[in-house]
Amino acid sequence: MGKARKALEICVFTGTALAAVILAKPAHAQIVPKPPTDLSYYVHSGDTGATAQKLGCEQANFDNSRNHASFVILDFGAQRPNGKGTYLPGSTVFWSNAADESYALHLAYGYEECGPRHVLILAAGTNNDGAATNGALGGIWGGLVQAVARQASARGYSHVSVQGAVDAEPGFGSFRHFKGWEWGDRSGRGYVSRTTALLDDYGSADGCPQALGRIANLKCGNGWNVPDEYNAVWGWPPNEGTPEIYFDGCHGSANQVNQWANVSAYGRRYQHKGMVRFVAPLNQGNCLNSGASWREFRAALARDSVAQVMRFSSQMITR
């Protein structure tokens, strides 16, 4: 990761492999094979602790069989305006913060109990959907991430590291609201006030330039711009990115491959932190499958001279 980035400061992994395998910043850009594709999940109303435990065990077995660490996002949906929990993705089903925490911990337990030889990075995710996104809610989410990490550590889940995640999309809400959610505003002190854990942005770059390498027009959708997207995935100290690479212009959709490559190119040209070192491309297996998502995104980054190592490949699953 970046020079001063403290990835997973609430790391619950007690050995040295995490620092060596996951956190080390590559000395230079490399061309590496596509890593195994890890599954992330929209949490479903029918899910239980047993569901999460099973998913964790399956991930441990998968990692052992592929000899690779993993990165998994649990998307708990939008926060309720009063901060007491979340509405699960695509539904009006409400889960309390305690239920969200319990589900994440069950997945961590399932991973730990199935003999892992690698490390799972487990990211507890919400989104910026709605005008209710503010500093108070950001602080609550930071507190939730902190609580999951501390409990996982106390229970001895030594092969699991916990961090935060947010599906930040211009189409969901303004950049001002998102910035307040992370850094604080009049309503509260934001995500960063409650935790030092990384925050992974697994959202989209709605409305950003789609012509590869042409970033003279920095405007994106809903008042966002390319510098805003850069901050959300790399520019701000706790942030990293697992961007949506669902579409490449297929079926009349946006070319997310080029949109996110342009965000990285902007950083390389104009920001002291340079290009974005993305964690993984995120796909849903529709227009682009995991292989195509990886190949097209890496190729777009390379064509604009921002080739890099992406340590993971990720697919978001709706069950």
220 pLDDT above the threshold of 70? yes
Q: By CB neighbour count within 10 A (0-12 exposed, 13-18 middle, 19+ buried), where does 66 fall?
A: middle
8-58 per-position pLDDT tens digit = 434 444 333 343 344 444 444 456 789 999 999 999 999 999 999 999 999
Q: What are the boundaries of each domain within the chain?
A: 17-318
Can you say whether residue 129 is alpha, beta or left, with left for phi > 0 and alpha for psi between -120 and 50 degrees?
Answer: beta
Which segments of 67-172 does DSSP mark as H helices, in order? 97-113, 135-154
Would you state the CATH architecture of domain 17-318?
Alpha-Beta Barrel (3.20)
pLDDT band at 306 (very low <50, low <70, confident <90, very high): low
Tokens of 73: 């996002």
Q: Which two tokens stand for residue 32?
A: 């590496």
Indicate whether this model's pTM tops 0.95. no
With cut-offs at 50, 70 and 90, classify the pLDDT of residue 1.
very low
What rounded mean pLDDT belongs to the chain?
90
